[in-house]
Structure formats: structure tokens, C-alpha cells
Amino acid sequence: MAQYRLGELFCGPGGIACGAIAARIANTDYRIIHQWATDYDRDTCNTYLNNICPGADSSVIWKDIRKLDLSTLSVIDALAFGFPCNDYSVVGEQKGMDGVFGPLYSYGVAALKRFQPLWFLAENVGGLRNANDGKAFAQILDDMRSAGYTLTPHLYRFEEYGVPQTRHRIIIVGVKNGETVTFRVPSPKLRKREDNSCRVAIEEPPIPKDASNNELTNQSATVVRRLSHIKAGENAFNANLPDDLKLNVTGAKISQIYKRLDPNKPAYTVTGSGGGGTHIYHWNEPRALTNRERARLQTFRDDYVFSGLKESVRKQIGMAVPCEGAQIIFEAILNTFAGIHYESVEANINDQIDLGSSGRFNQ
């Protein structure tokens, strides 16, 4: 088989899909094609539909996964699901399996059991490793194995793969038991760009003047004054701020609050939630980044139009998987099934966590 029909749960605005459909192996017919996708957010579904599969309205389902009848979905050869990370993120309450979103991975497992795709890709935040003292991650891996898959979980540091952003995510690639192939983690040497500084990502080439989702955020006079005292790479807590501009915060001090980018380094993590002071701030101009600039840090094309109001777009971009990072992993999967060698590295998550009843990655 050279073409793999991909189904997606929790599809988001299409970062994973962008990487999947862009993945290619030179001089072969191996590729991944969209079959169906589903998400609970309407703006997100519209973004996905308009950019990934325009005109194929019925293939993108706007529905809460808990109310979705899997039997209504068509046959697939591959599955992707970036199950919600809210309860595993280090910036959240870290409720893990005890939260509202923690157990939603089980719908991905249910899809694996129903469709038995040849392979799958699942994504979540690095904090998944430690949720519920590591027991949540162990349970998730065991459930995926029980569905009939050999797993290769790895903590991908996407900045090492050329993404202009420090973004660490756990990606689990599963290959159906009985397939005579072994997936290996692609080497960072396969990166799509050499200079992954945020300045180059945002300025080279310049963003077109008519680009969508590029409206500026109105900054208050106080924010402008505060930013004028914060140097590139500094935040509101380590900058030399006048007393009247210091933040009245007790307890933990989040380093990203009013943090300005260092133009010579990858950006810090683009997020989809948070209030004032968390919007990512330009290294030189006294302002937050536009959504289009944020999208560039996530390696979306400039002609990728996000649906919805500005805050909805901000959330969609922050929750996405970087397109170029996803593409590298999907190309490794295609190479694996094509029997083509590619540079790889050892899978690594955290050797201090019990990874399930097998006690190892089951590779």
C-alpha cells in the first residue's frame, strides 16, 4: 500500500494534517490523504475544512467526541489524535485522569480497536509523563498496546527539528502488531530549516500586507511603557522596571509574563490560553505578536486562513502541532513502510517512569 487514508480525532486547525499531506518520499507514490476529521470546536472545524479539504464538507465532523458514533465514520488506514492536553499541561492544574479532559484519550483507543489502522500517531504535552505520578501515562500506553500496537513514544523537542519555537511534545507512533516494520524516531538532522530563530521566521520573507489574521492587538499605554523597559529575552520579573510598572504578584512568577522574544533564538512556546501578559511580545516593537506571526512560529503557510474571531484564532494556533515538525515524523512513518532507511535516534521519554506492565517501550 502506498496511500494511507487518514482519520483524525481532536483534529484542531490542521497542524497535523498539514504535515501529513505534505509528507513525501522522493520517487515513490507513498503519501497520506485526508479521509475524515472531527473536533468539538466549530471555528476549528471551519479552519480545517477550508484549508485541508475545501469542498469536502461531510468529511469534517463538528461534534463532541463523547457524542460521536464511530460507526458513522468510513474506513481508514491510519489514525492521528492529539488528545486534549488541558489536564496534563504543566501550566494547568495537572488533574491528569481525574480531570474532565484526561480520559478523552480513550476515544482514540476505541477508534484503534474499531478501525485497526496500520499505524497511528498520538500527541500530547510533555507534562503527560508526570500526571498522576506517572500512572496516567503508563495506563495510556498499556491501553494502546492492548488495542494491538507496538509503540514508539518519544519526547520531541521541536526546536531541534528546525521549528522556530521551543515546543516539547510527546508523540506516540504505533504500528499494528503483525506488520514487519519497525518505526524509529527521525533524527533532528532531517530538519526543514537551518536557521530557526524567531526573527528569521517572522521577517524572512516579510509577511504580505494583505495576509489574513494579521491584525494588531491594542496595547494599553501602561503595557507599552512596561515593554519599553523590558529588553529582548527578558520578562516582567527579571527586567529593571520602575516600581509603578512592576506586577503585584505573589507566589510563583511565570517567566513568560510580558516576556519579549530573543530574536536570535527560537520563540518560547506558543500557547492557546492565558490572559494579559501571555501573548508573546516582539523583541523590538512594544507590542504582542499578531496571530499571523504566531502562525509562522507554528510553521503554517501565510495563505492558511484561520476562521473565527481573534481570540478564537489565537487559541487554535496555540493548540496546533507545528506543521513542519509533524511532516518530519510522517515522512519517517512513510519511509518505514516503504522500507527506506532514514537517519534516526533512540526513543527517549523518561527512564524514571514506569511505562506500563511491560516495563519498557515495547519496541
pLDDT tens for each residue of 155-165: 999 999 999 99
Q: How confident is the model at residue 90 (pLDDT cuts 50, 70, 90)?
A: very low
Grid cell in block for residue 81: 489524535
Contact 115, 41 (CB under 8 A): no
The pLDDT assigned to 132 comes to 64
Distance of alpha carbon 361 from alpha carbon 67, whole angstroms: 32
The pLDDT assigned to 99 comes to 43
Residues 6+ away with beta carbon under 8 Å from 152: 172, 173, 174, 175, 183, 184, 185, 347, 361, 363
Q: What is the mean pLDDT of the chain?
A: 89
Q: Which one from 11, 53, 85, 198 is the annotated catalytic residue?
A: 85
The pLDDT assigned to 277 comes to 83
Distance of alpha carbon 39 from alpha carbon 307, whole angstroms: 14
Prior bond of 286 cis (ω within 30°): no
Nearest CA to 323 out of 97, 41, 52 is that of 52
The pLDDT assigned to 330 comes to 98
The pTM of the full predicted model, rounded to 2 decimals, is 0.91
Mean pLDDT of 167-190: 97
**pLDDT at 102 exceeding the cut of 90:** no
Angle between helices 105-115 and 135-146 (to 10 degrees): 10
The torsion region of residue 277 among left (phi > 0), alpha (psi -120 to 50) and beta comes to left
Contact 144, 119 (CB under 8 A): no
Q: If residue 146 lies in a helix (H) or strand (E), which one and from where to where?
A: helix 135-146
**pLDDT at 220 exceeding the cut of 70:** yes
Nearest CA to 130 out of 169, 89, 82 is that of 89
Residues 6+ away with beta carbon under 8 Å from 230: 236, 239, 241, 258, 259, 260, 281
- Quick check: is 11 catalytic? no
Contact 165, 360 (CB under 8 A): no
Q: How confident is the model at residue 248 (pLDDT cuts 50, 70, 90)?
A: confident
The residue type at 121 = L
Distance of alpha carbon 38 from alpha carbon 36, whole angstroms: 7
Mean pLDDT of 201-214: 97
Higher-pLDDT residue of 335 and 359 is 335
User: Domains of the chain by range and CATH?
Assistant: 3-194+320-345 (3.40.50.150)
Distance of alpha carbon 23 from alpha carbon 95, whole angstroms: 35
Which region among 41-55, 77-91, 113-127, 156-170 has the lowest average model confidence (pLDDT)?
77-91
**pLDDT at 359 exceeding the cut of 50:** no
Structure letter (DSSP) for residue 288: B
Rounded-to-10 torsion of CA 47, 52, 54, 58: -80
Contact 324, 55 (CB under 8 A): no
